[in-house]
Chain A
Amino acid sequence: MQNHFDVIVIGAGAAGLTAGIYLSRAKVNTLILNEGAIGGQMVLTHEIANYPGVESISGYELARIMKSQAQKFGCTIKSNLKITNMNLQGDIKEITVNNKDIYTSNAVIIATGGKSRTIGATGEDLFKGKGISYCATCDGDFFQDKEIIVVGGGNSALEEAVSLTKYASKVTIVHQFDHFQAFEYYVDEAKKNPKINFIMESKIIEFLGEDKLTRVKIQHQQTGDITELDIDGVFIFIGYVPNTEKLEGIVELNDWKEIVVDKNLATNIPGVFAAGDSIAKRYRQVTTAVSDGTIAALNAAEYIINSPYAKKYSID
């Protein structure tokens, strides 16, 4: 069967590509199906300085190397597609792509990662790229001597707020709680920066403007009071959500919509493993995604060796 593989990996981020490298090197016929750009969140990272063995590398470059490593070992990678149906029960797993192409396999590794959380306020979609940004290093210089807001209270928000003071004349951090989740160091750096001020216990509820963003409506979480603020730009860093919407009702997810796995990274469905940022875990880094990808790949390989399919076709 041309469209049959030993293992299908869903997602080509650090976890999925690592699984592809390990499986293909072990001569397990592997297909990676990816919805977005290859590399996932690595591509969103300008510089990775904490990946052991490499002092500093752009996320794009690291992703490019991982992809080429996987392909050199014979892994097939298909990207920029849409998975439209998944049937993961039974010995043969079936995945439909773009409503027409069906791929089957004996095991599946889900490595769908995560994406930036959006505020969900009115106008957010409309002003993306016209005042609203999710990337300080990409768009910071459009806000030279302008007044901006940074939304969020974690490490990324506070770190980026400080870095954006290189460009902006004033940075206002809007955070929904009365305290920050960020490490103390990032909070101190932000607090001692004269260009930064804070609006706590508040949320943006609406983005306003004509052809670009000029104003926001902010609501205080305790009093309910709504104020309007003239602003040139808003940078949003409010964390990540797992890409698991399509898995609801298919594999077990926890209350945070993360995939529930055991220590072998097996899900509740036999032959279905999961790895990387989409699983329930505490630390989400390239190193941990790579580690998960390795564990899931080795367990998936072992699973197919012991499966009825392996008995018929004998995989070495």
Chain B
Amino acid sequence: MLRTNLTHVLSEQEHSKLLQENDNVMICCGRMGPMCIPVYESMEELEGEYKNVKFADMEFDIPDSRVIRNLPECRSFQGLPFVVYYKNGNVVKATSSIQSKEQITEILDEHFGKN
């Protein structure tokens, strides 16, 4: 399990349950590595601000992370973490490698807004 304060997605079932129960979801799929940690940290800080978004992480090295790894939107990705944004169960944005809090905020505002 990743050492973050985010909701952990541990299986394919939990992944689909999360998408069913929440309209707006951001999942960071990574490791406890240098490019991933700053993204988790930004998400932890943004969690309080974006009450309408469910923030979660998923370990890249578990087999069930194929739900993210195998997404067509992630096909060209070659840098951790893979971050996927879902609206009503559909992928609206996906990014590869480190992103700043500013870049994440921009995506959240564009696709989910804040309330």
In whole angstroms, how far apart are the Cα atoms of A218 and B105 in the complex?
36
Contacts of B33 in A (CB 8 A): 46, 135, 137-138
User: How far, in whole Å, are A142 and B75 apart by their CA atoms in the complex?
Assistant: 12
What is the distance, in angstroms, from A303's C-beta to the closest C-beta of chain B? 32
Task: Identify which of residues 55-112 in chain B touch chain A, using a CB-to-CB cut-off of 8 Å.
Answer: 75-80, 95-98, 100-102
Is B42 engaged at the interface, CB distance under 8 Å to the other chain? yes
Smallest CB separation, A208 vs chain B (Å): 14
Q: Cα distance A36–B79 when bound, in Å?
A: 19
Are A129 and B77 in contact, with the CB atoms below 8 A?
yes
* Residue contact A36 to B38, C-beta cutoff 8 Å: yes
**A233 to B102 CA separation, bound complex (whole angstroms):** 27
State the CA gap A180–B38 with chains docked (Å). Answer: 32
Q: A44 contacts the other chain (Cβ, under 8 Å)?
A: yes
Number of interface residues of A (CB under 8 A): 28
CB atoms of A135 and B101 under 8 A apart: no
A212 in contact (CB, < 8 A)? yes
Q: Contacts A128-B97, A211-B76, A212-B78 hold; do A80 and B41 have CB atoms under 8 A apart? A: yes
CB distance from A76 to the nearest CB of B (A): 15
B109 to chain A, nearest CB (A): 15
Please measure, in the bound complex, the distance between the C-alpha atom of A130 and the C-alpha atom of B34, giving whole angstroms. 17
Asked if A131 CB lies within 8 Å of chain B CBs, one says yes
Give the chain A neighbours of B6 by CB distance below 8 A.
none
Task: Judge whether B34 and A129 touch: CB under 8 Å.
Answer: no
B101 & A133 in contact (Cβ 8 Å cutoff): no
A238 at the interface (CB under 8 A from B): no
| Complex contact A129–B38 (CB within 8 A) | no
Contact of A138 with B37 in the complex, beta carbons under 8 Å:
no
Residues on A with C-beta less than 8 A from B97 are: 128-129, 133, 139
A contact residues around B100 at 8 Å (CB): 36
Task: List A residues 272-306 near B (Cβ within 8 Å).
Answer: none
The interface residues of chain B lying within 8 Å CB-to-CB of A129 are 77-79, 95-98
Measured CB to CB, the residues of B under 8 A from A are 31-38, 41-42, 45, 75-80, 95-98, 100-102
Q: Contacts A128-B79, A133-B79, A137-B33 given; 7 further ones with Cβ under 8 A? A: A37-B41, A80-B101, A129-B96, A130-B76, A138-B79, A139-B79, A142-B79
Interface residues, chain A, with chain B CB atoms under 8 Å away: 36-38, 43-46, 58-60, 79-80, 82, 128-133, 135, 137-139, 142-143, 211-212, 233
What are some 27 contacts across the A-B interface (CB < 8 A)?
A37-B38, A37-B41, A43-B34, A44-B34, A58-B32, A59-B34, A79-B45, A80-B42, A80-B45, A80-B101, A128-B97, A129-B77, A129-B79, A129-B95, A129-B98, A130-B78, A131-B78, A135-B33, A135-B35, A137-B33, A137-B34, A138-B36, A139-B35, A139-B78, A142-B79, A143-B78, A212-B78
